[in-house]
Structure formats: structure tokens, C-alpha cells
Amino acid sequence: MAITLKSGYKMPIVGLGVWRMEGKDIKDLLINAIKIGYRHFDCAADYQNEAEVGEALAEAFQTGLVKREDLFITTKLWNSDHGHVLEACKDSLKKLRLDYLDLYLVHFPVATKHTGVGTTASALGEDGVLDIDTTISLETTWHGMENLVSLGLVRSIGISNYDIFLTRDCLAYSKVKPAVNQIETHPYFQRESLVKFCQKHGICVTAHTPLGGAAANTEWFGSVSCLEDPALKGLAEKYKKTVAQVILRWGIQRNTVVIPKSSKLERLQENFNVLDFELTKEDMDLIKSLDRNYRTNQPAKFWGIDLYA
């Protein structure tokens, strides 16, 4: 099952995010994911594991497990490389051992002090606050992204963590329109206005943190996960599915792409098996009522500034 992007290319509606996957485990995880049926992998320069992902992909291609054209590979431009879009993209391609990317995203709508291509550092000033570069506009960055499409290095380009204001601006100044906006969205942070705005303007919404962050965000940010919600547990019992499967199915029925992350084989299988049932309108409405406007991914912890303020 796939969504056709504004660029004309198809993006599988279920993908696997590789954030916080450890280098030594990545090859086995990705090979197993491909065997399960995953064809969409969501990477980023900032995850600092593109080389390990590239090693796994190379093995999958060499052994005939899958062909390059069968996979949809996303990676992202880090904040410190906004003034070096071409070099950063080429660096990611080299690490991933690919000739082209299916999708390249602007990871966050902020340029920060350049620390060297591919280093993905978040340099802090003397005051302990993120060193934001005020000389590079998001429009300049976007035109650099458009150049990648012209060069054939990237098939589709998009944005990530953009709100309605910034997304509208991007639509206004872009020649190649953003195909995707990847945002945090889950039952506790539904962002209905942003999702509908993007979809109205032909931008596919990809849900990062589609399960509300689970253990990873609880560990890093002290956040609460919707996986423990009593109403969602009740729906899981009703449909004889896991809570995670119910949440992912809800995301799919909103016409959003979901990219859950898991390092456990059993969970990889569960998260992929979400196309064999459908939530009723009543149950979709029940989940809609659970919204808390609750963001779990809080980079301010590391940056000394709340960019969402």
C-alpha cells in the first residue's frame, strides 16, 4: 500500500525509522525488515548511522534479496548544513552507497552554525543556547534542495517539523513543491489543522514518532506514551491487535505515512501487519477525542532553546 506523492513517485505507507538504531545491530535489523516486507526506510544524517544502513542495503542488493528500485529511501539535511546542501546530500549518498535518494527532507526549519559537512553537530554558543545562523533563509535552503532534483540526485524533496506558517511560505517560494512534511503526530498530538492543511495542498504527511515515542522518548524527554492509554488498550482487545497496531492503523486511515521504529524482530513484524483490519468511524472518533496537544519530542533539552515557542 502506497501514497502517490506530488512528484509522481509512490511512497510505501508503512516504513521503518532507523533513529537510535545501534551500528552493530543495523545490518541484521534491516535485512530482517526487508524479509518481512518493509520497502521504506527513513534515515537522517543526524542519526549518525547512514554508513551502517548503507552496508546493509549493499548486502541486500548484492545477495538479490531486493532491487534498488524496490526500495524507498529517505534521509535528511541537518541544521548545520543548510548552506551546504549539495555537499551534504552527496555525503549522505556516499555513506548510504546509493546513486539517488527517493526523498530528501529539510530535517528542521532552522540553520545552525556549520561544523563540517556530515558532522551533524549542534553547536551551542557561550550562553549554552543553540548557535542559530541568521544569514541563511529557508528559501535559500529550499532552492538548494530543488537543485538536487535537477541534478538527478534526489527524486522527491520535502520538509520536516514545519508548522502551517512555514509550510505555506515554502509553497509560495518553491518551484518544486514539497512532496512531504514529516512531523510528530500520534493520538496524543494529532495536529489536525496542520495535517489537513498539508493534505489540502498536496503535501503527504509522514508521522514520525507515530506511537508517541514509547520507551525512547520516555527515556530522553520524560514524556508519557499513548501506548498505555486505557481507551486504546480497549480497542486493541476489541480488534485482537496490539495497541501499537491500532495506533498505526489510525495513522494510515488518516492518510498519513507511518514510520515506527523498533529494534525487536517481533515488533517489526507486528508494526508491518496493519493492513488486514480497519477501524470503524466510531473508533476513529474515539481516538480523535484522546488528543492532548502533547508533543513528546523535545530537542530543547539539548539545544537550550524551545524552537516551537
Residues forming the active site: 47
Residues whose CB is less than 8 angstroms from the CB of residue 143 and which lie 6 or more positions away in sequence, other chains included: 175
Between CA 186 and CA 209 the distance in angstroms is: 7
Between CA 135 and CA 112 the distance in angstroms is: 10
**Element housing 205 (H / E):** strand 204-208
Amino acid at 191: R
Between CA 109 and CA 165 the distance in angstroms is: 11
How far CA 234 is from CA of 22, 25, 231, 237, in Å, comes to 34, 34, 5, 5
Between CA 206 and CA 234 the distance in angstroms is: 26
3-state class (DSSP) for residue 4? strand
Nearest to 130 by CA among 304, 306, 307, 308: 304
Counts for the chain of helices (H) and strands (E), in that order: 12, 10
Cell reading at 110 = 532552522
3-state class (DSSP) for residue 130? strand
3-state class (DSSP) for residue 148? helix
Between CA 143 and CA 160 the distance in angstroms is: 16
How far CA 59 is from CA of 69, 155, 186, in Å, comes to 15, 23, 34
Between CA 72 and CA 69 the distance in angstroms is: 8
CA dihedral 145, 181, 294, 277 (to 10 degrees): -140
